[in-house]
Amino acid sequence: MAELTYREAVADAIAQEMERDDKVVFLGEDIAKAGGVFKTTVGLYDKFGPDRVRDTPISEQAILGAAMGAAMTGLRPIAEIMFSDFFAVCWDIVVNQIAKTRYMTGGQVTMPLVIRSANGGGVRFGAQHSQSIENWAMMIPGLKVIAPSTPADVKGLLAASIRDPDPVIFFEQKSLYGDKGEIPDGEHVDELGTAKVVRDGTDAVIYALAAMVPRSIKAAERLEADLGIRVSVVDVRSLVPLDTRTIFSEFRKSGRAFTVEENPRLCGWGAELSSLITEECFWDMDLPVTRITTPHIPLAAADNLEDRMIPSVDRIYETVRAGLD
């Protein structure tokens, strides 16, 4: 086992897949000699050269247009959109072109394309650079949507995304980039469409994603230590495909569920989980599903306000405690 940071795991996964397959290419702003604005791509330019690791102009439309063309002609491109907020600039290419081409051509044109992006808040970048936009992507047919919480999942799920024949939106939570974790030695490839039970419990279940996973685990540990309440935590990891088998089986243990999401409350992914659980597990329910979210307002830049808006360990703890009283 090697210990890497979340950001180092990004470069490790890309290097693994570029060494394995010379059709894998990488393009984006400042990803080459600079090593990425978040230092997630350090060393790739020196190792693979300018033909396979290419800096682009500051144009999200140009980045994704070039990546789409590369995918259509036989390459396996990885494209970086520096901040996920800037998907708004190139959303037409994602929604009306990349997501639909395989379907509109009857499978004659495949789209093995990964779009990586730094997502979410917690690092004081303000309303235009801190959004959590997983819900934007998961509503579009034709896209796969992944958001890992640990370095091992970053490497394994990014490698699986690069090998996948369909377009994958890969969200990296920027406040996690410095987190460390063990990664298996050698080639490491995970499976898309799988959730992971990261803490066992019998009194309730918390479903969380990305930066909300470690916070949910800490809240669950406090609930058991303080009150004897044993809460399981499920790292959803993959929003599309969604691992409903794991989601439902964990819910049926207790009939009590909470979702913890960084998305604004309106139309967040937790609402979809709540709907699915209600439809499929109604007779197992002891309580309605409770959603713990960011409020439906632009995210603040001030540290005290941002901390109040994004679900915290304390808020998760208090909400679950009150919900189970």
Task: Name the residue among 289, 260, 292, 253 with its Cα closest to residue 274.
Answer: 289
Q: How confident is the model at residue 5 (pLDDT cuts 50, 70, 90)?
A: very high
Distance (Å, rounded) from C-alpha 217 to C-alpha 111? 36
β-pair type (144-146, 168-173):
parallel
Q: Which two tokens stand for residue 15?
A: 């290097």
Q: What is the pTM of this model?
A: 0.97
Quick one: pLDDT at residue 57? 96
What Cα–Cα distance (Å) separates residue 25 from each residue in 16, 116, 131, 165?
12, 13, 27, 15
Residue 114 near residue 158, CB atoms below 8 Å: yes
217-257 pLDDT tens trace: 999 999 999 999 999 999 999 999 999 999 999 999 999 99
Give residue 94's identity as a one-letter amino acid code: V
Q: What percent of the chain has pLDDT over 70?
A: 100
Q: Which helix (H) or strand (E) holds 154?
A: helix 151-163
Q: How confident is the model at residue 325 (pLDDT cuts 50, 70, 90)?
A: confident
Is residue 188 part of the annotated active site? The answer reads no
Question: Is 10 a residue whose pLDDT tops 90?
Answer: yes
Question: Is 1 a residue whose pLDDT tops 90?
Answer: no
43-93 pLDDT tens trace: 999 999 999 999 999 999 999 999 999 999 999 999 999 999 999 999 999
Quick one: pLDDT at residue 228? 97
134-181 pLDDT tens trace: 999 999 999 999 999 999 999 999 999 999 999 999 999 999 999 999
Quick one: pLDDT at residue 104? 96
Residue 301 DSSP code: S
Of 52, 76, 129, 215, the active-site residue reads 129
Same fold flag, 2-183 and 196-324: yes
Give residue 295's identity as a one-letter amino acid code: P
Residue 153 near residue 177, CB atoms below 8 Å: no
Q: DSSP string of 180-234?
A: EEEE-SS-----TT--EEEE--SSEEEEE-TTHHHHHHHHHHHHHHHH---EEEE
Task: Name the residue among 273, 275, 317, 268 with its Cα closest to residue 293.
Answer: 268
Quick one: pLDDT at residue 237? 98
Question: Is 263 a residue whose pLDDT tops 90?
Answer: yes
CATH 2.70.160.11 fits 2-183, yes or no: no
168-223 pLDDT tens trace: 999 999 999 999 999 999 999 999 999 999 999 999 999 999 999 999 999 999 99
Distance (Å, rounded) from C-alpha 209 to C-alpha 260? 7
Quick one: pLDDT at residue 96? 97
Quick one: pLDDT at residue 162? 98
CATH 2.10.77.10 fits 196-324, yes or no: no
101-118 pLDDT tens trace: 999 999 999 999 999 999
Domain ranges (residues) in the chain: 2-183, 196-324
Is the CA virtual torsion 298, 195, 240, 52 positive or negative? positive
Task: Name the residue among 261, 272, 77 with its Cα closest to residue 170.
Answer: 77
Q: How many CA atoms lie within 13 A of 140 on its CB side?
A: 24
Distance (Å, rounded) from C-alpha 222 to C-alpha 225? 5
